[in-house]
Structure 1
Amino acid sequence: MLRERDVGIFDYVSRDVAGVGGELKTSPADFQVNELRMDGSEVSLDDDVDTSEHDASGWERAHQGSDYVRFVLRKERWDTLGAIAELAQELGVAARRFSFAGLKDYRAVTTQEMAVRDVSVDAVRALRHAQLQIGHVRRSETKMRLGGCGGNRFRIVLRRVCGGRALISRAVRALKKRGFVNYYGLQRFGGCAVRNDEVGLQCLQWRYEACVDALLRPRDGAKMSSAELEARECWMASRNARVAHSLMP
């Protein structure tokens, strides 16, 4: 199992302040992420304006020919791509029609804007899912673009902290004054079978064959179909990308 120290996550800004311990993400609600628009406003389902009055407005009529439907998605225990796949299946369209500004965590309650091409407003509004909530549905003339947001606002609950009020207050003051080392989280490094940072290093070193091998070789202990295993074994035995691709499910 990959540990933080394995990827260089071990140093602190405020070494003179004792830590308070605690547990993060004991439940998804303890880690809430709201996307920020480029103007700094926070994306929220509370901004919902998709009412029947809005449907009848001149704005809605003026945008009837727009190619995109933009909406707010709040999800829990879903990663962004998995949520898109689920919504695409419900709408009966390809996942590639969806666009978004950034990926959001799985073990969290996250809220972000999305757009989908060539579907009706009513179809998006009719979506119902226990862990995927849709709101603020409206026509748009543009799709979302990766990086096209002003960042994210995090609301984090730290449970089972140690130390008294004085120590906790001192730690909070140090955090406000000095900040913290903004490490990449373990999820950015991939699983144990393939480390994203190692694959990236191979690319930077122009070791492209080693990079492809790392991605396509059979993975011990990983769950995969017999067809996928056959495709991976074919690649390692023959290095024939065309045949391996034809076998990959």
Structure 2
Amino acid sequence: MPDQTGASAAASRIAVLDWGWAETLLALGLQPMAVAEAPLYGDRVVVPALSRETIDLGLRSWPNIELLRSLKPDLILSQAGYGVSQARLDEIAPTLALPLYSAERKPLAAAERALKEIAAKTGREQVATEYLQQSDARLEAIAAEAKKYDGRPLLIIKFTDDRLVDIYGAGGLFDDILKRLGIQNAWNGATNNWGFATAGLDAIARYPEARIIIIEPGPPGTFLKSALWQSLPAVRNGRVTMIPPTWVFGAFPSAMRFAEVIRRGLDLA
């Protein structure tokens, strides 16, 4: 087994431009020195938590390059195909630009590959192996509990305002997890490479038998009490579940968090 302590120390100053890789690094037991949009991470990703000392690098799509350069990181983690190019980042420090949401449309598999690659780069291979073994066992346990679920498909939505929602389907992280749990995703419409479609409430109405899963925060104001919302068949029949914030564009830790919040939300325990 490689010397994990020594290898990690060689890359102890790690800057991360993507929250999926930040949570992956944390799952491997390493705290990033700096993360893009660090203050928002706690609201959107929630866990695993960043240290309060984490430096904010600015926007994920366009971080503060001068600040990044001044920090002299040993390693930069970024998402391939998003934000600043690897070539430009390589001028600052060695960069690992890994794909997550791409034309392959298999983010859970991409997240697992990336976790192993980040572990190899930081000398945490054994930690990664144990983490994935524990995660697989946990998913199997939740899938076993899900066998007692009533089988109603889930329509997973996140409000962008009081008229539009993002609906998560094929190509998304949550869809991958639903497949692992043996629960059907109601949405069978087209999705982009990030695994979602943006639509109006009429799209929800087309799935009257579904159970609606709302990812917090919900819509602004009192919209959920409005006649428009209350007229939806699933709402009228009490088939709406609100789940706490879960990062829809995350990596393996976000996938595991979604599995746990769905377990609680559907009362599978």
So what's the TM-score if we normalise by structure 2?
A: 0.22
Structure exhibiting the larger radius of gyration computed from Cα positions: 1
Higher relative contact order, chain-length normalized (CA < 8 Å, sep 6+): 1
